[in-house]
Amino acid sequence: MATASEPLYMQLAATLREKIAKGEYAPGSSLPSERKLCEAHNASRNTVRLGLQRLVTEGLISPSHGRGYIVRRPDVLVYNASRSEDHNRRVTAGVDAWVQDIQEQGRTPSQRISVAIEKANPDIAERLSVEPGSLLVVRRRLRFVDDQPWSTEDSYYSHEIVHNTPIAEPADIAQGVIAYMASLGYRQVRYVDDVTAAMPNPKQADELAIEPGVPLLIRTRVGYTTTIPIRVTVTAMPTDRNVLRYELGTHEQRS
> Whole-number mean pLDDT of the chain?
88
Residues 55 and 158 in one domain: no
SS3 196: strand
Residue 64 and residue 83 share a domain: no
Q: Does any domain span residue 250? A: no
Indicate whether this model's pTM tops 0.75: no
Confidence class for position 95, pLDDT limits 50, 70, 90: low
Q: Is the pLDDT of residue 32 over 80?
A: yes
| Residues 157 and 109 occupy one common structural domain | yes
SS3 111: strand
Per-residue pLDDT, 254: 43
For residue 154, give its domain range: 77-245
Q: Is the pLDDT of residue 210 over 70?
A: yes
Q: Is 131 within the bounds of a domain? A: yes
Residues 34 and 108 occupy one common structural domain:
no
Q: Looking at the domain assignment, is residue 3 inside a domain?
A: no
Are residues 164 and 91 both part of a single domain?
yes
* The pLDDT value given to residue 48: 95
Buried b (16+ CB within 10 A) or exposed e, 222-255: bbbbeeebbbbbbbbbbebbbebeeeeeeeeeee
Pairing state between β 77-80 and 242-245: parallel
In the structure, what pLDDT confidence band is assigned to residue 255 with cuts at 50, 70 and 90? very low
CATH number, domain containing residue 81 = 3.40.1410.10
What pLDDT shows up at residue 82?
A: 83
Which of residues 40, 71, 102 is at a domain's end? 71
Instruction: Let me know whether 120 and 180 are in one domain.
Output: yes
Question: Do residues 159 and 45 both lie within one domain?
Answer: no
Q: Does 37 lie in the same domain as 124?
A: no
| pLDDT tens by residue, 41-72 | 999 999 999 999 999 888 788 777 667 888 87
Q: Which residue has the higher pLDDT, 170 or 94?
A: 170
Residue 2 falls inside a structural domain: no
Residues 6+ positions from 104 with CB-CB distance below 8 Å: none
Is the pLDDT reported for residue 94 higher than 60?
no
- Where are the alpha helices (H) located in 23-167, listed in sequence order? 34-41, 45-57, 87-93, 97-104, 122-128, 159-162
Select the highest-mean-pLDDT range: 156-170, 172-186, 201-215: 156-170
Q: Are residues 63 and 122 in the same domain?
A: no
pLDDT at 217 exceeding the cut of 70: yes
Residues 230 and 119 in one domain: yes
Provide the pLDDT for residue 88.
58
Residue 254 domain-assigned (yes or no)? no
On whether both 135 and 174 belong to a single domain, the answer is yes
**3 touches 15 (CB < 8 A):** no
Mean pLDDT within 16-22: 93
Q: How much is the pLDDT for 10?
A: 94
Choosing from 71, 97, 115, the residue where a domain stops is 71
pLDDT category of residue 97 using cuts at 50, 70 and 90: confident
Domain assignment present for residue 41? The answer is yes
3 state DSSP class of 221: strand
Helix (H) or strand (E) holding 232: strand 229-238
Give the per-residue pLDDT at 65. 66
pLDDT surpassing 60 at residue 252: no
What pLDDT is attached to residue 81? 87
* 251 found inside a domain: no
Phi/psi for 34 (5° steps) reads -55, -40
- Order of strands, sheet of 109-119, starting from the edge strand that comes earlier in the sequence: 109-119, 135-145, 148-158, 229-238, 216-224, 190-198
Q: Do residue 92 and residue 168 come from a single domain?
A: yes
Mean pLDDT throughout 136-152?
92
pLDDT of residue 132: 97
Max Cα separation, the chain?
A: 71
> Rounded to the nearest 5°, which phi and psi values hold at 135?
-75, 135
pLDDT at 4 over 70: no
Q: How many domains are there within the chain?
A: 2
Is position 233 within any domain? yes
DSSP letter at 94 equals: -
What percent of the chain shows pLDDT beyond 90? 62
